[in-house]
Structure 1
Amino acid sequence: MKKALSLVMVFVAGFMWSSTGISAQKYVSGNIGINWFNDAEINDAGTDIENIKLDSGLTLTGAFGCDYGAYRVEGELGYQSSEVDSIVDLVDDVTDEDVTADVAIVSLMMNGYYDIEFSGLEVSPYAGVGVAQVSYDEWNNGDADVDETTLAWQLGAVFGFPIADNIMLDARYRYFKTTDFNIGSYETDHETHSALLGMRINID
């Protein structure tokens, strides 16, 4: 938790510097799409004991950023949702398909983009680091809810298409990963893949 809070402080300081230190075009953006969660392996003292299988879900992001020409820096607030589909007991090789729970990840990320133009099309690989709040709620098997803060990082690529003055249509792929967090006395992490569509609007 202390590491996560420290990273938030670095995030805020870095973004404040990037938005005021050099002249830049400010913008806001929003994206919506679908995510796919990789199976989450539950670890007990170095041994994988269970495998949580999750359904696809919704991803939402919103960002405020600074465009410096060839590169961009932004602060991004993100939300991802899913549901537990089943849990596989790796020790006894038994699958419980009746268990359900709502899963949500709320993230605060600082992203850096490198913009490459091809005949009006903008291709932008990007990377980001930040913090994530992971929650498991409404277990139908009586398990305790989970509410954990952990570090996170992401990689992706954006294809931008200008559709009007100061407005860009964005299509993007994002890979997102948390560091380990606790579910009860055990550890796991989350990896997701998202396909998103959105808009980026210059605001000054």
Structure 2
Amino acid sequence: MKKALLLSMALMVAVMWSAPGFSADKYVSGSMGIVWVDDIEFEDHDTDDSDEGFELGTDSGITLLGAYGCDYGDYRLEAELGYQTNDIASWAEVSSNEKYNDESEDLDEDGNVSVLSLMLNGAYDIDLGNDVEVYPYAGVGVAHITFEDAPLCFEGSSFRNKDVFSLAYQVGAGIAIPVSENIQLDARYRYFVAEGFSMDKPAANGDLSSHSALLGLRVGI
């Protein structure tokens, strides 16, 4: 499945770079913003009791996005490279899908979780007049998730550093406001998900989702 997704991503990128017959306007964009990560959930897949697990809570962090895209008028296609990082703030044991409040603890450590993502996005532009556009968008891709000095713990085990790959998707909406002939101010909301990733030591399945508010520029080239 991962190979098929990567192949389709490569084909879409090839089309974007080599489709002059579609009269697309090329652009690059960059955005920066704040990211909030939902509690990162881990489920033990090395025992018969799949309800056992733990959660990591995080503080708000920063996210950066850069993209190369093709504007076909009403819709756009783009390849996007993203990065987000958050400090880990808390750890909680989970059993039977309920968090043990007495097991939850705030952490005063330097651990963090970061995500490097490569996505292919499609957006539909809606003209509001005066070249102002709003747009919904969606994307699919891959994510590289890194846990650094993180309490990745089940009973009898403790691991601090881990990195995994995961399939990912995102949805969002934004508004683009022209500031010059080839430059637009771009503000957007992004909901990003990397789910069902698997790791060993500890043997766990994990899910990560985040919400971002971003501001940046889109520049025609």
1:77 maps to 81
1:36 maps to 36
**Unpaired stretches in structure 2, ≥5 consecutive residues:** 153-157
2:155 maps to none
SS in 1 for 2:179: strand
For the 8 Å contact 1:116–1:124, the answer to whether it is kept is: yes
Q: 1:54 is aligned with what amino acid?
A: T
> Which piece of structure 1 moves more, 177-186 or 57-66?
177-186
By how many angstroms is 1:111 displaced?
A: 0.2
1:19-168 aligned at under 5 Å gives the runs 19-21=17-19, 22-45=22-45, 46-91=50-95, 93-98=102-107, 100=109, 101-120=111-130, 121-139=132-150, 143-168=159-184
For the 8 Å contact 2:88–2:107, the answer to whether it is kept is: no
From the superposition, tell whether residues 179 and 69 of structure 1 become closer, same or farther in structure 2 (CA, over 3 Å): same
**Unpaired stretches in structure 1, ≥5 consecutive residues:** none
By how many angstroms is 1:90 displaced?
A: 2.5
By how many angstroms is 1:43 displaced?
A: 1.0
Kindly provide the CA deviation profile for residues 127-175 of structure 1, in whole angstroms up to 9, marking residues without a partner as x: 0000000000123786241110010000000100000011000000000
For the 8 Å contact 1:39–1:53, the answer to whether it is kept is: yes
Q: 1:119 is aligned with what amino acid?
A: G
TM superposition score normalised by structure 1: 0.92
Answer with 1 or 2: which has the greater Rg.
2
1:168-183 aligned at under 5 Å gives the runs 168-183=184-199
Kindly provide the CA deviation profile for residues 55-100 of structure 1, in whole angstroms up to 9, marking residues without a partner as x: 1101000000000000000000000100110101134541232364
Residue correspondences, number: 201
1:189 maps to 207
SS in 1 for 2:54: strand
From the superposition, tell whether residues 189 and 99 of structure 1 become closer, same or farther in structure 2 (CA, over 3 Å): farther
The alignment-based identity, stated in percent, is: 41
For the 8 Å contact 1:99–1:140, the answer to whether it is kept is: no
For the 8 Å contact 2:40–2:206, the answer to whether it is kept is: yes
By how many angstroms is 1:48 displaced?
A: 4.7
For the 8 Å contact 2:16–2:69, the answer to whether it is kept is: no
For the 8 Å contact 2:28–2:66, the answer to whether it is kept is: yes
TM superposition score normalised by structure 2: 0.85
